[in-house]
Structure 1
Amino acid sequence: MSDHEYLTRAEAVLTVVERTLDDTEADIEFERSGNVLTLEFENGTKIIVNLQPPMREIWIAAKSGGFHFRFTDGEWRDTRSGTEFFAALSDYATQQAGEPVRFKP
């Protein structure tokens, strides 16, 4: 994948996350600064989603740990577990929000 393809695909992921947060009922504030999207929950915990262009990955830092996602076979997949990005982010956000939060590609 070229640098341009990576950035196009990764930016699209951040856009989907932002749009979902705009529409969710959960009390989640978010702020984007360049390639970093910070989600802050009512209980003060945070999830950080950031792009890693040199690695061509998207990283998530959540209360449950740090996770790296790489574009494989048409989806962003965790480099260790193989979990799909939006499913993983939904689980982490649900845990930290204390209510269901669903992200879809």
Structure 2
Amino acid sequence: MTDLEYLDHAEALLARVEACCDSINEKTDADVDNQRVGGMVTLTFADRTQIIINLQKPLQEVWMAARAGGFHYKFNGQEWRDSKGTGEFWSDLARYASQQAGEPLAFSS
């Protein structure tokens, strides 16, 4: 994948994360604050815990730091997969955000 292709996919992922947070805030009682600065989105939950998603351009990865740990995702042409082969970005984000919010939250591509 070229650097330009990576950036297109990675920027679309960050934009979708922001849109999902906006939708969650409109449709549920969850209060998920999202702030974007450059290639990083920070989600802050009511209990003040955070999930940080940022681009790692030299590695063509997206990194997610949550209370559950740190995770690295690479785009395989169809989806963002954990570099250790243990998960997919959107399902992992939904699981970790739900844990930190204390209620089920839906994130999807």
Q: Which bracket does the TM-score occupy, shorter chain normalised?
A: over 0.9
Instruction: Report how many residues are paired.
Output: 105
Output aligned runs, 1:13-28, within 5 Å. 13-24=13-24, 25=28, 26-28=30-32
> 1:39-88, CA deviations, whole angstroms, 9 ceiling, x for partnerless residues?
00000100000000000000000001000000114110001133110000
Name the counterpart of 2:88: 84
Name the one with the larger helix percent.
Answer: 2
Letter in 2 for 1:76: W
1:54 alignment partner, SS class = helix
* Root-mean-square deviation over aligned CA pairs: 0.8
Percent identity over paired residues: 49
Name the counterpart of 1:100: 104
Name the counterpart of 2:35: 31
TM-score (norm 1): 0.97
> CA distance change for structure 1 residues 73 and 5 in 2, over 3 Å: closer, same or farther?
closer
Name the one with the larger strand percent.
Answer: 1
Give the one of 57, 64, 76 matched to 1:60: 64
Q: Hey, what's the Cα distance between the residues in 2 that align with 1:48 and 1:81? A: 20
- Flag as ranges the 4+ runs of structure 1 deviating above 4 A: none
Unpaired stretches in structure 2, ≥5 consecutive residues: none
Q: Hey, what's the Cα distance between the residues in 1 that align with 2:99 and 2:90? A: 14
Match status 1:9 vs 2:9: yes
Q: Hey, what's the Cα distance between the residues in 2 that align with 1:53 and 1:35? A: 9
